Each structure stands twice: as structure tokens, then as C-alpha cells.
Chains A and B, each alone.
Chain A
Amino acid sequence: NAGVTQTPKFQVLKTGQSMTLQCAQDMNHNSMYWYRQDPGMGLRLIYYSASEGTTDKGEVPNGYNVSRLNKREFSLRLESAAPSQTSVYFCASSEFTSGYNEQFFGPGTRLTVL
């Protein structure tokens, strides 16, 4: 039982390049999330998926797109990377039922955009 896994662990991009961050969970959770973590700002929600087939914007969605490929996988795409997207990205999942939303986090992807 691996929990939430993310690939890659590290990535360096040049401005304007594109890439996709992958996330998978094996806990059979319905809901999945993408956050970015920046110093002094905590974690901010980029996009989330309440269930397979649905996605919604979070607090900071500009410059990103997501795909909920199936129940297990939720990917985050940067179409044209910018230096402001240098950050650590965390994927999370939860079984949000009856108002109880404990989220489980992946190990993170450290992205640098030059």
C-alpha cells in the first residue's frame, strides 16, 4: 500500500516549456487535490477533483490544467511554464464522506522554472 505517489520528484524547466506532473493513489479515494507550497504561504489549492470525471478550480488555478484520468490518477499540466511557477507541488487524496475530509499527501515534486 503505497498511499499517494508522485512523479517526478525533481524537475527543472526553461520558461515556456510544458510538463505534466503525475499523481496516483491506491486508497480507493474519490477525491484528489493539487497544491503548491511556497515559503511563508502555506499550501494553496490549485485544482481538485471531487470524484472521477469532475474537476474544479481552487485558489490559484491560472497557468495550470488538470486531468482526472481515472479514479486512481490525477495529473497536473503546465502548458507554458513561468518562473512564478517555481514551487513544490503536492498531490493529496481523501474520502470525503459525511463531512470528514482527512487528506493524505504525496511526497511532492520540486519544480524550478528558469
Chain B
Amino acid sequence: AQSVSQHNHHVILSEAASLELGCNYSYGGTVNLFWYVQYPGQHLQLLLKYFSGDPLVKGIKGFEAEFIKSKFSFNLRKPSVQWSDTAEYFCAVNALTTDSWGKLQFGAGTQVVVTP
């Protein structure tokens, strides 16, 4: 079975600091990759997605992610965070196989707290 691993469970950083959240997955074939964000008390919203093409993907609110196929990784980055980026971030993978049709496998999530 596929698995998704997020390296950090909690990250605390100051405003204007750079953020990088790691995500690795276990499936070796074709994948769709996603980062979702969940602000306090809200539902999940899509930050960015990778289906194919340029491995450097830009999303909303200044976030970007890089797909490195050889490392099975899809790390999320933001050069300068703001207090409003305080949220939980989830990496998700859809392995394109018959068995995993349409199913997203989520990582455990990373709680990010940005201090003023």
C-alpha cells in the first residue's frame, strides 16, 4: 500500500522566515500530488497541485512546491511567511493505479505556527 510521510508534525517560526515542509511518498509509478491547507476551524483548501510537466509548481498565497521524482518527494516552500499562514498543511498523493483509483492518501499533517 502507498504511504505518505510528512517529516515535521509541528513547526514554529517567526514572520518573514522561510518555510519548507517535507513530503515523501512510497509509490514508484505515476502520481498526482497535492498540498492542502486547513486554517483554524475551516475546511481543507487546495494550495497547489502537480499532475505533469514542470516539476516546480506555484500555488496560491506565494507557496510553491517541487516534485523530485528520483526522491519521491514533493516539498512545499514559501520564502517569507506571514502570521496568516498559521494553519495545518497536508500533503496528499493519488497513485494512478487500478486499486487506488481516485483515492487520495494523506500525510499526517504539519501544524505550522507563525509568531508575530
| Residues on A facing B (Cβ under 8 Å) | 31, 33, 35, 40-45, 48, 50, 58, 90, 94, 96, 99-108
Contact = CB atoms under 8 A, between A and B. Distances in A.
A58 B103 contact: yes
Contacts of A40: 9, 108-109
B106 A100 contact: no
A45 B4 CA distance: 14
Given A99-B96, A105-B43, A43 B90 contact: yes
B34 interface: yes
Contacts, number: 55
A48 B99 CA distance: 13
Given A42-B109, A90-B43, A106-B43, A101 B9 contact: no
A43 B36 CA distance: 11
Contacts of B90: 42-43
Interface residues of B, number: 25
Contact of B46 (A33, A99, A102): A102
B51 A100 contact: yes
Interface of B: 4, 9, 30, 32, 34, 36, 42-46, 49, 51, 90, 92, 94, 96, 101-104, 106-109
19 contacts: A42-B4, A42-B90, A42-B107, A42-B109, A43-B90, A43-B106, A45-B103, A45-B104, A48-B102, A96-B102, A99-B30, A99-B32, A100-B32, A101-B32, A101-B102, A101-B104, A102-B46, A105-B44, A107-B43
- Tell me if B's interface is mostly helix, strand, loop or mixed: loop
Contacts of A58: 103
A40 B111 CA distance: 10
A50 B34 CA distance: 20
Given A40-B9, A43-B90, A108-B43, A103 B101 contact: no
Contact of B106 (A42, A50, A96, A107): A42
